[in-house]
Chains A and B, each alone.
Chain A
Amino acid sequence: MTISLEAPSILVVDDNKHMHSVVKAILNSMRIKNIRFSDNAADAVMEMRQWHPDIIITDWAMQPLAGLDFVRLVRKGADTPNPYVPIILLTGHTEMCRVIEARDTGVNEILAKPISIKSLYTRIASIVQSLRPFVKSKNYFGPCRWRSANLNC
């Protein structure tokens, strides 16, 4: 059984405006209506301050600041509006080293492009239902990188 996703607010960050329409169409189909868009990291941070989204979906390949730099800004920036906000990274980079890099930067979920509707739903539902605890260490700040709830982070 699926869960209703009407309630969460989602900020989509992508410098490709066409992707805004694609992601919006998919999210609306999930009955998610509370969506805003930013086409760069600076605007996204401003939007976070004013609007406090529950979840962020960001692209990796963006200019001038790449998606992972935006994630670093959110997780570790001195004036970050919310370092704990769940982040889903959309990316065409599916090589293992890139996935590990994204995970170690502090993203909650990674979703390969082209976007699979079912996969996007699953990622959002996973965040809602089983948000992982955060880990703060010398070299890392972000969601626990072990997925099992039984593992000691």
Chain B
Amino acid sequence: MSIPTFTGLQTALSGLQASQAAIDTTGENISNANTPGYTRQVVNTGENAPMTISAVNQQGAGTQLGTGVDIASISRMRDQFLDIQYRAQNTSTSNANTNATQLQQVQTAVNEPSTNGLQSQLSAFWSSWSSLANDPTSQAAQEAVINAGQTLAQTFNSVSSQMSTVQSQAGQQYATLTGATGQVQQDASQIATLNGQIAAATSAGQTPNTLLDQRDQLLDDLSGLAQVSVTNQSNGSVTVNFGDAATPLINGTTVTWPQTLTSAAGGQLGALLNLSSSSGPIGQDVSSLDNVASEVISSVNALQPSNPFFSGTSASTIAVSATASTIQTSSSSTSGADLAQSVANLSGGSADQSYAAFVAQIGNGVQAAQSTQSTAQSLLTAIGNQRQSVSGVSLDEEMTNLIQYQQAYQASARVMNTINTVLNSLINTAGSGL
């Protein structure tokens, strides 16, 4: 069997087409170099099936002649194990970010060390009692005690209410994110839609790179809210388990939401649940402040036996119930100032010490949250870089490829030109005698 006349033209054409596809893909990569979630694409080429030709002199066994190149597929450069690592780290990083941000707000509410925080109000209160002890019958000194007490109580109230506000805002944020129009619902329904489209394309034998990129991007997004576990199905769709929800959030095109999560869900939602719970870090800070307040209330009231100075039991409820005329300065019916002096002597006592411990507790909480945050952030950057290293677009690399593909295209064109010349001489020169 001899070689068909136009085989060379077809071979050169396949080379032109492969180079063109490669150049187009390079163009796509360059265009999307900065698109979030874009995965670098490559053209996978393979040899065309060869044709068998017989030996020219009928003495050999014949041989196989290559017939050019075939574009097998255009695929995404993606490592799904890096995706798993990235999403797990994204969950912890977003958890740490949320914790640090919210706890910092609590710290701002406490406003220490400063000259107008609770510490200075407490000191001013004790000092007003000392002045009263020095001049027990002075009405001005009595009024000063009442005023200092009221300022102290109001400062306790406002610090406590600011802390509780941060706590309840965390709960509201959780409700917004998980609500009917919240991010979870939106991401999940988009992923479910994409699942359907991808499954359809896959069954048609296509590789829907763009849809896959979009779905991966949404899964990254979802992993910031709570931990996700993604299972690939044979039809190209994914099943997604979300946080510690009982049923998979997405199964094929089905979305099961809302579901109950706990703080073990991780991510932003887990952190918000933990922060809004009364046993969470903010709840603990609030109850520590309540302890300081109740220590102040009970120690002062114990020294005002017939008429309690403070009412309330916690930082949010503390208020001055005494008036200037009901303050007891002395335990005996005769005048004196032993009670006033005893209250003044509470300065630097257990209430002040509890408060200093409370400040340390707040500081330690924020410091720990911040250092967790910065560690988590650097880990996320590191894994993100690894993933980028596989999937990201390097313009230098694309430019190099572009030159390579351009040269290949030009070479294929040259081959075609040569064949043309050869055929030309065959047809015009060899046939000119006819």
Tell whether A pairs with B: no
